[in-house]
Amino acid sequence: MSAMMQMWGMFALLSILAALFVVVPFLRREKVIAVDSDANAERIAIYQQRLDDLEQEFADKKIEQTAYNESIVELKRRLLNELSPEKQLNARGNNRIFALTGLAFLVAVSAVFYGFTGSQKQIEDWYTAIDRLPEFGERAVLQQGEPLSQNELQAFALGLRTKLAESGDDAVAWMLLGRVAMSLGDNDMAKQAFEKALVIQPDNNNVLVNFSQVLLIEGTEPSMNRAARMLSKVLQSDPSNMDAISLLALIAYERQDWEEAKAAFEVLQSSMTQDDPRYAMISERIHDIEHKINPDAHAHEENQAPAGASLTVSVSLNDSISSQLPDNATLFIFAKAHNGPPMPLAVNKLKQFQFPITVTLDDSMAMMPDLKLSNFEKVEITARVSSDEAVTVQAGDLEGQSDVIALDNAPSIVRIEISRVITSTGS
């Protein structure tokens, strides 16, 4: 029996119990009234028999008039005492009608109440997610069939969480949940899932690499330090792990450790052929790092436009929230694909800035080799001021966002005004 059938079976059982609670009192009342009517008939018959005896004794002059009258009064008093008002009432109408009326009222009220407050659609989606969990796993992990849509990813996450609630010692399921949460842009859920997976399998390289990616997206100094330690652990057991090398290169680049970043990107490039779509982007990144190491040697290239897609972004701050600009703030300006993956395609992080400010976003700022501006047709630009150096949204951050931009028809300058304060992570 499926979980959905079990749920409806429980609903049916509860409905039957509620119906019995309403109907049984009516049927029991009818029985009590019938028994009381028979008892009353017997008491009245006894009264009539005693009255006849008194009349006969009076007729035979065995008792006086006064004694006769007092005896009749006493008989009547006893009868009234023995017959309570409730026991003298006769059942009016058919109690089955009252029972059916109560049952109909119960059904109507329950239906209306459930219609307004119930979550039937959510419950059905929940059980559907559980039933389709193996199918989602095959499509997500084994790449069989169509890729999962956003709604199916959410259902997959729900099914995994339900499975893990029943059996929380499955490291593979925790890792899958973390990867799905990353795809949904839920970094908090991803971190919690990878933490659980690491407790069970602390030396699993796949978990360590995926967890490091989440920490890198978070962007704070402690998270990047932890990611670096995890990736170093991966390379100790698997020195040729390209995913770990790629992430270490990004961490070194973010820390402006140009020599280490250049070495890591050169290792990556050496593992690829020139027809690999990532080869050109890594070459651009290495060229950019070389320029940063020795800017004089590349001074003649400064006026040249960067290879691949690029956007010039001008960011201003609305006067109404300028007083809420935090001290020691960090400005993130990043591009994301419209209706695409949640990971930024290009990120510019600034510790020293003054509004208005103009920056350029291009392919050299991609966080992952296969996720860059030139790979997508439409993007959205976000400018966010954070007080804790984290690119993930936090309450109290200041934010502004552009309209959807088509890269083949982008304006010469994309203008963004930071005009709102994030009050919660759902804002």
Distance (Å, rounded) from C-alpha 50 to C-alpha 115?
65
Domain shared by 23 and 108, yes or no: yes
Distance (Å, rounded) from C-alpha 281 to C-alpha 372?
9
CB-based contacts of 46, cutoff 8 Å, min separation 6 = none
Instruction: Name the burial class of residue 236, with classes exposed (0-12), middle (13-18) and buried (19+) by CB atoms within 10 angstroms of its CB.
Output: exposed
**347 within some domain:** yes
Higher-confidence residue: 333 or 372?
333
Domain shared by 43 and 112, yes or no: yes
Domain shared by 408 and 317, yes or no: yes
Chosen domain end from 250, 267, 301: 301
- The 10s digit of each residue's pLDDT in 310-344 is 889 999 999 888 888 888 888 889 998 888 777 78
Question: What integer is the mean pLDDT of 93-110?
Answer: 67
Whether pLDDT at 357 is above 70:
yes
Higher-confidence residue: 74 or 151?
74
- Mean pLDDT (the chain) is 76
Q: Helices (H), strands (E): how many in the chain?
A: 14, 9
Domain shared by 314 and 278, yes or no: no
Domain shared by 325 and 251, yes or no: no
Q: Half-sphere exposure of 237 toward its Cβ, with a 13 Å CA cutoff?
A: 11
Chosen domain end from 118, 146, 176: 118
Query: Which residues lie across from 399 on neighbouring strands?
Result: 384, 420
Question: What integer is the mean pLDDT of 389-407?
Answer: 83
- The enclosing H or E element of 312 equals strand 310-317
Pair 293, 257: CB distance under 8 Å: no
**191 within some domain:** no
- The 10s digit of each residue's pLDDT in 139-165 is 666 556 666 666 777 777 777 777 777
**407 within some domain:** yes
Domain that holds residue 296: 203-301
Whether pLDDT at 52 is above 70:
yes
Question: What integer is the mean pLDDT of 212-221?
Answer: 83
Question: In which order are the strands placed within the sheet that holds 414-418?
Answer: 357-362, 310-317, 414-418
CB-based contacts of 133, cutoff 8 Å, min separation 6 = 156, 159, 160, 163
Whether pLDDT at 305 is above 50:
no
CA 166 from chain centre, in angstroms, equals 18
Model confidence at 303, pLDDT cuts 50, 70, 90, reads very low
Whether pLDDT at 390 is above 60:
yes
Most confident of 16-20, 101-105, 245-249, 370-374: 245-249
Domain shared by 327 and 415, yes or no: yes
Question: What integer is the mean pLDDT of 296-306?
Answer: 50
Chosen domain end from 301, 318, 339: 301
- The enclosing H or E element of 313 equals strand 310-317
- What tokens appear for 272 in the block? 């690829």
Whether pLDDT at 416 is above 90:
yes
Percent of the chain past pLDDT 70, that is, above it, reads 71
Q: What is the CATH number of the domain that holds 275?
A: 1.25.40.10
Structural domain count, the chain? 3
Domain shared by 328 and 396, yes or no: yes
> 349: closest CA among 385, 307, 308, 399?
385
Q: How far apart are the first and last CA of the chain?
A: 42
Distance (Å, rounded) from C-alpha 78 to C-alpha 59?
23
**111 within some domain:** yes
Query: Which residues lie across from 357 on neighbouring strands?
Result: 315
Whether pLDDT at 381 is above 90:
yes
Domain shared by 294 and 314, yes or no: no
Whether pLDDT at 83 is above 60:
yes
* Contacts of range 51-60, beta carbons closer than 8 Å, 24 or more positions apart: 51/75
Query: Which residues lie across from 181 on neighbouring strands?
Result: none
Domain shared by 285 and 329, yes or no: no
The predicted model scores a pTM of: 0.50
Most confident of 24-38, 95-109, 374-388: 374-388
Domain shared by 292 and 314, yes or no: no
For 219, the 3-state DSSP assignment is coil
**149 within some domain:** no
